[in-house]
Amino acid sequence: MSVAHDTKSSKTTLFTTFRDQCDRGDFTGIAEVHALLCGLKILATTTAVKDLETARRALGGHGYSAFAGIGRLYADYLPAATYVTFISHNFNTMIPSHIRYEGDNFVLDGQVARAAVKSYQSSLLAPAQPFGIYSSYIRLLNDKYPTPISDARTWQNPLAVIHLLEWRAALMLKSHVQTMDEPDANANQRLSKAVTDAYVAVQIGEMLDELSILPERERGVIGKLYHLVSCQLPWLIGVIQ
């Protein structure tokens, strides 16, 4: 919850900055903000649906009870995340298109992927051009950044984990560009997830820097929690792959 709150705070700050730019007639940040919103919408909806299902299963038979209320929440929220593979895995059903919410996550994956490809292509044409907050990982594709080598100690260092997640996004983007002509129905989804994971990881890194104002004990506990979030299993699987 803390990570979600702080990510929301950073997004609010970004929007304030973007609004000030628009007031000055500078609309160059529209594409970056659009891609960020698409990625975070996908992350928020899929995580919420998955965690609701986890909560329902944790309640055993009570999870199916109308008194528990989880089934109603799940039914209300499920159309917000319409990945067919995810839905089929849990219920062997598909949601009709007429009851899906606006902004199908498959479509939003494509938006994130296209924005990433455009940013990468722009960086090749204008290497000195600064990257936005949602595309800063692309800097790693510059030759001056060596590919990191990870070992058991890497996962004990939060900043090293964050760096690996950025590398994951960068290398996945490079591979995506090289294989765009090959048929792959899940390519956009994988790239979109990697890009958003990298963004959230960077936000966690900034949160870790801000913990210096806390007493030593609280700083250590919260720092470990943030480290745990950055090392959660879904991200680790992607990094290892």
pLDDT in tens, 142-180: 877 777 777 777 777 788 888 888 999 999 999 999 998
Token representation of residue 236: 């680790």
Domain spans of the chain, in order of start:
2-106, 130-240
pLDDT at 90 over 50: no
pLDDT at residue number 20? 72
Phi first, then psi, for residue 109 (nearest 5°) are -60, -45
Spell out a b/e string for 166-183, using b for 16 or more CB atoms within 10 Å of the CB, else e. bbbbbebbeebeeeeeee
- 192-221: pLDDT as tens digits: 999 999 998 888 888 877 787 888 888 888
Reply yes or no on whether the pLDDT at 237 is more than 60.
Answer: no
Give the pLDDT score at 177.
93
**How many other β-carbons are positioned within 10 Å of the β-carbon of residue 24?**
8
Radius of gyration of the chain from Cα atoms?
19
Which pLDDT does position 216 carry in this prediction? 83
Mutual angle of helices 187-210 and 233-240, in 10-degree steps: 120
Q: Are 239 and 168 in contact (CB under 8 A)?
A: yes
